[in-house]
Amino acid sequence: MLKNTVLIGLMLASCAVWGAAIPHGSAYDSRIQHVTYDSQNATVVNTRPGYLTTLLFDDDEAVL
């Protein structure tokens, strides 16, 4: 019984891995960051006061 409970818990925990995509800096300029689009992921956007942040969205995307 305990073995089944642990197995189910591990299966449910592995689903949370697809939570967020973290952008990586460019090899030439680390201030420019990019992330590969995946409609199933959220994306982390790091911002600071005084800096310009530009986000490009596709026509079928929505911002929550």
- Per residue of the chain (64 residues), give pLDDT as tens: 788 888 887 777 766 555 677 788 888 888 888 887 777 778 888 888 998 888 888 788 777 7
Which pLDDT value is given to residue 16? 55
Q: Is residue 57 part of a domain?
A: yes
Residue 54 counted as domain residue: yes
The per-residue pLDDT for 19 is: 67
Per the DSSP assignment, residues forming a β-bridge with 34 are: 24
Tell me, yes or no, whether 8 lies in a domain.
no
The answer as to whether 1 is a domain residue is no
**Tens digit of each residue's pLDDT (9 = 90 or more) over 30-46:** 888 888 777 777 888 88
Residue 61 is assigned to a structural domain of this protein: yes
Radius of gyration of the chain (CA): 18
Judge contact between 46 and 24, C-beta under 8 A: no
Indicate the number of domains in the chain. 1
Which residues are 43's β-sheet partners? 21
The pTM (predicted TM-score) of the whole model is 0.45
Domain range enclosing 31 = 20-64
Residue 21, Cβ density class (10 Å: 0-12 exposed, 13-18 middle, ≥19 buried)? middle
